[in-house]
Amino acid sequence: MTKNQVLIYDTTLRDGSQGEQINFSAEEKLRIAQRFDEAHFHYIEGGWPGSNPKDLRFFEMAKDINFKNSRLTAFGSTRKPHIKPSACANLKALVKAGTPAVAIVGKAWDLHVHEILKIDLAENLQMISDSIRYLKDMGKEVFFDAEHFFDGYKNNPHYTIKAIETALTAGADMIVLCDTNGGSMPYEVSSIVKKISSSMPLNRAGIHAHNDCGLAAANSIAAVLEGVGMVQGTINGYGERCGNADLILLVANLQLKMGKNCLPAESIRQLTNLSHYISDTANVPPLNARPFVGRSAFAHKGGMHVSAVAKNSSAYEHIQPELVGNHRRVLVSELAGRSNVEYKARELGIDLEKNASLSKKIVHEVKLMEDRGFQFDAADGSLSLLIKKAIGEFVDPFTLECFSVVTSRTENNPCLSQATIKISVGGEEELTAAEGNGPVNALDHALRKALTKFYPQIKEMHLVDFKVRTLEGSEGTAAGVRVLLDSTDGKEIWSTIGVSENIIEASWQALVDSIEYKLSKDKSNKNGLKQK
């Protein structure tokens, strides 16, 4: 390991999957592990083979995969109290997993030894020593996760130091300092790491921080500043309770801000894509405000900001978004001026700067529609279509003739919706029907079914999120509603909007915009229709 290098250890597949509503199948875990290998992560923690059949199956499948850049790691705990390592099912499962590296967690806080394990302090140290020696004898690279290290040090520093010294003496390759409860402050992490430097070489130390105080990334960076050689975390910060340190944040900050050597530059440029891939696989909507990789990370709304960014992006951006695979977005709303619209038009390859009257017309239309409840700063797809339509550079890809939606329910069966739709494309009509879990779902299925014949690329896209908001509640169930849809084709995520007093109509507007945006950004389609 070079002097400026920081090793990246990912535990999305183990610690991350312990987060609420996060669940990966064995097959998904294998695909994710391969993506991490492509990103040149140094270590990939695949799971706990001694805890469940799914992780056992994952490690069996992983034996057939050639990891070129990463070392797959199996996770477990020290041996059970008062038994030999060779008799411990957990340690045997770690060996059977067949990974080149293993991580074992052991108690570094005397409170856990006394009150949770209910054993004496000497036995806990023996468990740590025996387990590491056993695994080293099996030819494994061994990480010792010193669980509750920082809380333990604050309570009984002598015993906590004894625990890590025992692990080092037994042959542990790396000691991982865990802020398991996520309650430490950055200044505490810095102080404690500095103090233990006399007991161990910090380049053989890692940091594993939880985010219960919102400081997991800050605590990890504090440890690195003191000389720790490895950071652990999860993609998007997924994990138990409030999550783990977000590796996206850590890698971007360490490499781009602090000059550390974490991953190849090409891997850094894939951070946005990787973040979205894990979100999609976990079926968790991406967080727009996520630093570096969120859709809002480089989004500008105020007219003064947009005007400045157009002249010099560093005026309101701390890095170039392309460095992490993201891109600049200019939002248009009732707060926007001509500069916002003109900037957005330039992104579409349209020059409006020489046509002030048209720019003013679009700004005026945006303000009128926002007064009716539209929200274009949250619907970039719909805004792009509005601009293209205003300047005559968009051809409607289809015409709606009619649709109907029927929802029925019986005493013993849940609601089932059926939608029938008739559209025409280039003079050819298509009539289809489809079912769905609700009226909007049925309408979406029917529209896609009707259009796929003409535009097969629609198969590439799917809905990511569906949100409904009541605009003004005094009218009760007759109140107007705003529908926002997030869609993706695997390469890009876009948002569209619909507003109406009828939720089906609002949903229809958003659905149509979503499909039209997809078709408008494609150069051509099956029928040869193109933008003018």
Count of positions (residues) in the chain: 532
User: Check: CATH 3.40.50.720 for 7-263?
Assistant: no
- A 10 A CB-CB count for 439 gives 18
Residue 59: closest CA among 70, 75, 43? 75
Going by C-alpha positions, the residue among 80, 13, 72 that lies closest to residue 47 is: 13
Instruction: State residue 455's pLDDT score.
Output: 92
Report helix, strand or coil for 343: helix
Q: Is 376 helix (H, G, I), strand (E, B) or coil?
A: helix
Placement of tokens 């009257």 in the chain:
357
Interatomic CA distance for residues 21 and 129, integer angstroms: 36
pLDDT value of residue 81: 94
Q: Do domains 7-263 and 399-521 have the same CATH topology?
A: no
- As a whole number of angstroms, the distance between CA 252 and CA 274 comes to 13
Query: In the prediction, which pLDDT does 173 show?
Result: 97
Phi-psi region of 373 (alpha: psi -120 to 50; beta: other; left: phi over 0): left
- pLDDT reported for residue 214: 96
Separation CA 347–CA 306 (nearest Å): 13
Alpha carbon distances (Å) from 327 to 10, 70, 352: 25, 29, 21
Q: Where are the domains of the chain?
A: 7-263, 299-390, 399-521
Tell me how far apart the alpha carbons of residues 150 and 147 are, in angstroms, rounded to a whole number. 9
Q: How much is the CA Rg of the chain, to the nearest whole Å?
A: 28
Assigned token pair, 525? 């389609």
Question: Could you identify the residue written with the tokens 């709303």?
Answer: 333
What is the model's pLDDT at position 472? Answer: 63
* Single pTM value for the model: 0.73
Q: Give me the amino acid identity at 232.
A: Q
User: What parts of the chain have a pLDDT lower than 50?
Assistant: 474-478, 523-532
Which pLDDT belongs to residue 27? 93
By C-alpha distance, which of 105, 102, 122 is closest to 113? Answer: 122
DSSP 116: I
Cα 112 to Cα 420: distance, rounded to the nearest angstrom: 62
In angstroms, rounded to a whole number, what is the distance separating the alpha carbons of residues 179 and 213?
Answer: 11
Confidence (pLDDT) at 101: 97
Is 432 within 8 Å of 420 (Cβ atoms)? yes
Q: Which amino acid is at 199?
A: S
Residue 516: per-residue pLDDT: 92
pLDDT at 400: 93
- List of long-range contacts for 324-328, beta carbons under 8 Å, 24+ apart: 324/252, 324/256, 324/268, 324/269, 324/271, 324/272, 324/292, 324/293, 325/269, 325/270, 325/271, 325/272, 325/273, 325/293, 326/272, 326/292, 326/293, 326/297, 326/298, 327/298, 328/298, 328/299, 328/300
Q: Is residue 501 a contact partner of residue 480, using CB atoms and an 8 Å limit?
A: yes
Both structure tokens of 111: 């409170």
d(CA 487, CA 485): 6
pLDDT of residue 528: 39
Assigned fold of 399-521: Double Stranded RNA Binding Domain (3.30.160)
DSSP state of 468: E
Amino acid at 447: L
Q: What angle do CA 306, 310, 313 make, to 5 degrees?
A: 90
Residues 398 and 424: beta-carbon distance below 8 Å = yes
Distance CA 18, CA 243 (A): 9
Q: Which two tokens stand for residue 346?
A: 């330039």
493 CA to centre of own chain: 13
Burial of 187 from C-beta contacts in 10 A (0-12 / 13-18 / 19+): exposed
CA angle (309, 334, 509) in 5-degree steps: 110
413 membership: H or E segment, kind and range: strand 413-425
User: What is the rounded distance in angstroms from the CA atom of residue 240 to the CA atom of residue 218?
Assistant: 18
- Check residue 476 and give its pLDDT: 47
Residue 315: both structure tokens together: 């005026």
